Chains A and B, each alone.
Chain A
C-alpha cells in the first residue's frame, strides 16, 4: 500500500491513496444500504412517499446538483493543474471547488430551515424521516469534503505538491467526486422519481 501511494508508479490502478478507496467504498456501502432501506420503506407506503415528495424544493435540489457537478469539474482542473506543475492554479481550482461546496451548503441550509419552519421533523412521517436523514448525512459529507479540500489547498499553496508528487490532490479529488456521486443518486431518488 505504501509503495503504491508514492505517486507516479506506472501500473497504478487507482488515483490517490489506496486507503481513501477503502473509505470511499465503505461510505458508498452505507449510503447504498440507506437507499435500499428507502426503497424497502417506500414499497410499503407508495402513496405517502409520492404525496410528500411533491412538497420538496426541487428547484434548489436541481441547482445544487449543478453546483456539485461544477465543483467536481473544478477539482478535475485542480488535478490537471498540478500534473502540469502549476501549484498556484491547483490551489485556485481547489478554492473554487470549496466555493461550490459553500454554495451547496448555503442552499441546503435554506431548504432545511424552510422545512423546520413548516414544523417538519424526523418524526413527522417515514418519508420525511428518510428525506431529512439522507440529505443530512450527505450534507455532513459535503462539510467533511470541504475540510479535506481545505487541507489539500493549504498544502498546495505551501508548495508541497508538484507534477510528480501529488497523491494528496488526487485523494481529496476522489473523495469529493464520491460526495458528488452520492448526491447524483440521492437527488433523483428522493426528490424526483415516483
Chain B
C-alpha cells in the first residue's frame, strides 16, 4: 500500500466476501428447491431465494468494484484519495441499506414491502434484478454519486493514466445506466426494452470496461511489463467491447415485441462479442509471458489468468452458444441461459473482484504478498470454485439441451413441469457441484487466516 487512504478498500473487500458467502448459501437453498419443491417453504419461497441470490451477487460485486477503485485509483493517480471519510461513510450507508433491503425481502411479503416503502409514489419494483424498493434505488444513486465524486476528484487532481480513465468511464456509465431503473413505462415492451439498458449495458458494456481496467492494473503491477503496451491492449479491447456490446443489446430484443430488424442486428453484433473476451485472454497470457519480474503474489497472477480464460468461456463461448436468433428461438429462457449466466458472472466479474482482492489484500495488511502457505490455500480455493463452476455450467447445459429438446423441439412437446421432472438428475448433480463450490469458498475465506512468517513490504517498489 503506497497511500494511507487506500486502506478504505479493505472495508469494501471484507463486505464483498461476506455477502458472497450469503449469495452462495441462497444459491444452494434455491438449487435444492429445484428438486425438493417445498424445502424451507413457506419461510423462504423460491422467488425470494432467487431475489436474494441475484441481488446479493450484484451488491457484492458493486462493493468489490468500489473497493477496487478506492485501492487502485490513488496508486494510479499518485495521490491520496480526495476524501477517505466520505468513502467510509458511503460504505456504511450502502451496507446498511443493502442489509435492510435483503431483510425486507426475507421477512416481509414482497407486496407488503412495496407498500411499506411507498412504491406507489414512484413505482420501480417488481422487475427481475431491479426488485429493490424505490428508496433503496435512490440510496444506490446517492452512494454512486458520492463515490464518483470522490474517485473523480482524485483522478482529476492527480496523474491521469489510461487505467484510471477507463475505470472512471466504466463507473460513470454504470451510474448513468442505472438511472433507467427509474423508468418504468406501462407498455411492457418498452419496459423490457429499457430494462435491458441497465442489465445488458451493465454486464456486456460498462462493466467490461471496469473488468479491463482492473485486469490491466493487476497485470502492470505483477508482470512489470511497460504500461504503454498494456494501455494499448486496453484501448483495443474496450473499443471492441463497445462496438459489439452496445448494438449487441439486440440479442435480448428478438421476441419481446420489438421490430424484426433486431434479430439481424442482435445476431450480427453479439456474434462478435466473444472477440474482446478472447483478446483479453491473449492479453493476460502475453503479458505474463513477457513478465520482467517474478512477483511473490502468485495467487494474484493465477486469478488474473483465470479471469481471462473463464470470462472468455462463460461470457464469450457460452454466450455465443445461444445468441443467434434462430438458435435463441428454441433456447430462450431455458437452463442454457442459466448455464451461461453462472459461468459468465463467475468468470468475468466474481473472478476479477477476487483478483484485485488477492493482489491488494496482502498489501492492505502490510505485506507484499500473502505467505506462500496462505497462497497455496487460496489457490485451492481458486481451483475448487473454478472447477465446480465449470461442472455447474456443464450440468445446466445438459439440463438445458434436454429441456429444449423435450419441451420445444421434439415432435410431441411435453409440458414444462413434466420436463423439469425428467431433467431433475442434472439439478441434483448441479447441487452437488454447488456444495463443492461452497467448500472452495470456505477454503478461500480460510486462506486469509493462514499464518506464516510475516513479511513486511519493502519500500514501495517501482515497477519497471
Which A residues contact B (CB, under 8 angstroms)?
Answer: 1-2, 5, 17-19, 22-23, 26-27, 29-30, 33-34, 37, 41, 122-123, 129-130, 133
Closest to B265 in A: A133
The answer to whether B265 and A22 have CB atoms under 8 Å apart is no
Say which one of B7-15, B132-140, B181-189, B238-246 lies at the interface with A: B238-246
Contacts of B236 in A (CB 8 A): 19, 22-23
The answer to whether A19 and B261 have CB atoms under 8 Å apart is no
Contacts of B269 in A (CB 8 A): 30
Closest to B262 in A: A122
Answer yes or no: B264 CB below 8 A from chain A CBs: yes
The answer to whether B260 and A123 have CB atoms under 8 Å apart is yes
The answer to whether B272 and A33 have CB atoms under 8 Å apart is yes
Closest to B225 in A: A2
* A1–B235 alpha-carbon span in the complex (Å): 13
Answer yes or no: B271 CB below 8 A from chain A CBs: yes
Contacts of B264 in A (CB 8 A): 37, 41, 129-130, 133
Answer yes or no: B452 CB below 8 A from chain A CBs: no
Answer yes or no: B267 CB below 8 A from chain A CBs: yes
Main secondary structure of the interface of B (DSSP, over half): helix
* A63–B95 alpha-carbon span in the complex (Å): 62
Known contacts A33-B272, A37-B268, A123-B261; is-contact A26 B229 (Cβ 8 Å): no
Answer yes or no: B259 CB below 8 A from chain A CBs: yes
Smallest CB separation, A9 vs chain B (Å): 16
14 contacts between A and B (CB under 8 A): A1-B232, A2-B226, A2-B229, A19-B236, A22-B279, A23-B239, A23-B240, A26-B272, A26-B275, A29-B272, A30-B268, A122-B259, A122-B261, A130-B264
* A89–B229 alpha-carbon span in the complex (Å): 32
The answer to whether A27 and B235 have CB atoms under 8 Å apart is no
Answer yes or no: B228 CB below 8 A from chain A CBs: yes
* A35–B240 alpha-carbon span in the complex (Å): 19
Contacts of B267 in A (CB 8 A): 37
Contacts of A19 in B (CB 8 A): 232, 235-236
The answer to whether A26 and B265 have CB atoms under 8 Å apart is no
The answer to whether B259 and A30 have CB atoms under 8 Å apart is no
Contacts of A26 in B (CB 8 A): 239-240, 243, 272, 275
**Which residue of the partner chain, among A2, A29, A122, A130, contacts B228 with CB atoms under 8 Å?**
A2
Contacts of B271 in A (CB 8 A): 33
Smallest CB separation, B269 vs chain A (Å): 7
Complex interface residues of chain B between 240 and 286 (CB less than 8 A to chain A): 240, 243-244, 259-261, 264-265, 267-269, 271-272, 275, 279
Contacts of A37 in B (CB 8 A): 264, 267-268
Contacts of B272 in A (CB 8 A): 26, 29-30, 33
The answer to whether B275 and A123 have CB atoms under 8 Å apart is no
* A165–B229 alpha-carbon span in the complex (Å): 19
* A30–B243 alpha-carbon span in the complex (Å): 9
**Which residue of the partner chain, among B233, B244, B260, B279, contacts A30 with CB atoms under 8 Å?**
B244
Contacts of B260 in A (CB 8 A): 123, 129
* A22–B275 alpha-carbon span in the complex (Å): 11
* A33–B279 alpha-carbon span in the complex (Å): 19
Contacts of A5 in B (CB 8 A): 232
Closest to B276 in A: A26
Contacts of A133 in B (CB 8 A): 261, 264-265
Contacts of B261 in A (CB 8 A): 122-123, 129, 133
* A37–B267 alpha-carbon span in the complex (Å): 9
* A33–B261 alpha-carbon span in the complex (Å): 15
* A5–B240 alpha-carbon span in the complex (Å): 20
* A193–B146 alpha-carbon span in the complex (Å): 57
Contacts of A27 in B (CB 8 A): 243
The answer to whether B259 and A2 have CB atoms under 8 Å apart is no
Smallest CB separation, B228 vs chain A (Å): 5
The answer to whether B232 and A2 have CB atoms under 8 Å apart is yes
Contacts of B265 in A (CB 8 A): 133
Closest 8 CB pairs of A and B: A122-B261, A2-B228, A129-B261, A123-B259, A22-B236, A19-B232, A19-B236, A34-B268
Closest to A129 in B: B261
Complex interface residues of chain B between 291 and 313 (CB less than 8 A to chain A): none
Closest to B275 in A: A26
* A17–B228 alpha-carbon span in the complex (Å): 13
* A33–B244 alpha-carbon span in the complex (Å): 12
Contacts of A1 in B (CB 8 A): 229, 232-233
* A124–B235 alpha-carbon span in the complex (Å): 38
Contacts of A2 in B (CB 8 A): 226, 228-229, 232
* A123–B262 alpha-carbon span in the complex (Å): 10
